[in-house]
Amino acid sequence: MKRLLLSVFGILALAIATLTPAFAQSKGTVYYLVPTLLDEFQTGSVSALELFLKQVGYEMKTLNADNKTDAQQSQMNDVIALKPKAIILAAVDFNALKPSVEAARSAGIPVVEFDRQITATPSDFTSVAGTVEIGHIAADQAEALLKTKNGAVKGKVLQVLGDPGDPYTLDIQKGFEEKMKAFPDVKIISLPAMQWEASNAGTIVADQMLANPDIDLIFSHAAHLSVAAVASLEAAGKKPGDVMLMSSNGAPVGLDLIRKGWLNVEVEQPLYAQAAAVAMFMDKVANKQEIKPGDYDVLGLKSVVTKEAWGPNIKIPGAAISKANVDNPAFWGNQKPPTDTVKSVE
């Protein structure tokens, strides 16, 4: 009887292994070189990439550079020696990692750029948010907020950028300002928070509220910068609603500020979809197959693959978050892992 039971369990185990992807033989190991784990976007990217890559058959290992360029360069050298199926890179420094990307590809290892685009040398695939488009969405929201407050699209906007060496913030600025050009009665003051430091953003807001007490709207390029902006506003005796606030990236702290009434809008950077896109195309990347330009559905978001000088590039749109939809679990800032299952692109 015992032998019969063992036999039955053996058959069941075989059936489960055949039917369940989790038990399927791994297609290989992919390394993710993350720049830092000090912010929620980066920690969330590790979880999301691991989840989606597992669904399409790959194991993932992560190396954290702690925002040190030399550490990430060394990590790239070490990983190249291990000959993984692919390397996913979110570069600490775009220019400094160019030779490492070239070394990996020369060794026959495909390189995927995640979130931080490197355009100076070809890669096998790049998955990024539509950052100019995030700026466009932010401009649409600013237009509506200013019109509601002032009866017309007019007023004064303080735009707090991230580090000016980061294309992410420069693209958002470009998109925001090119759309706001249609409204000449809006004055935009743009200042960078160097190294994306929250304390720098807090100082900018404190100084500008003294120099320009009639600021209607503060637009920060990351939610953690809005936290510092709120601290400066509170120190100046302001209450929620006295000055309108927006930020972009969709972090949990931004969603909390919406719930508390400080933040009017958070324009999400689509973390889950960016990670899902990497998994969708990993078979193509690992097998060095052509990735065709065109429209693709990534977790319900209409995304576009284009063929650029630096290789195939997918751009994924963001979305505006307000008090009306802040609890939607689809937003990564709510930290509820997506239940969607991705499939490899044929």
67 in a structural domain: yes
Number of domains in the chain: 2
337 in a structural domain: no
pLDDT in tens, 206-265: 999 999 999 999 999 999 999 999 999 999 999 999 999 999 999 999 999 999 999 999
Q: Do both 190 and 82 map to the same domain?
A: no
pTM of the model: 0.82
What pLDDT score was predicted for residue 169?
A: 92
Q: What percent of the chain has pLDDT over 90?
A: 83
* Residue 17 reports pLDDT greater than 50: no
pLDDT in tens, 70-119: 999 999 999 999 999 999 999 998 889 999 999 999 999 999 999 988 99
343 in a structural domain: no
pLDDT in tens, 300-343: 999 999 999 999 999 998 899 999 999 999 899 999 988 889 99
* Residue 165 reports pLDDT greater than 80: no
What pLDDT score was predicted for residue 40?
A: 84
Q: Do both 260 and 152 map to the same domain?
A: yes
**Segments forming the whole domain that contains residue 98:** 25-123+271-316
The Cα 90–Cα 39 span in angstroms is 14
Q: Do both 204 and 78 map to the same domain?
A: no
The Cα 211–Cα 213 span in angstroms is 6
Partners of 246 in the β-ladder? 219, 265
Q: Do both 214 and 252 map to the same domain?
A: yes
Q: Tokens standing for 35?
A: 């720049």
Q: Do both 139 and 184 map to the same domain?
A: yes
Q: How many CA atoms lie within 13 A of 162 on its CB side?
A: 17
The Cα 97–Cα 92 span in angstroms is 8
Place of tokens 């004064």: 156
The Cα 245–Cα 257 span in angstroms is 10
> What's the one-letter identity of residue 208?
Q
Confidence of residue 142 (pLDDT cuts 50, 70, 90): very high
The Cα 266–Cα 248 span in angstroms is 5
Q: Do both 108 and 136 map to the same domain?
A: no
Partners of 307 in the β-ladder? 312
Q: Do both 235 and 304 map to the same domain?
A: no
CATH number at residue 90: 3.40.50.2300
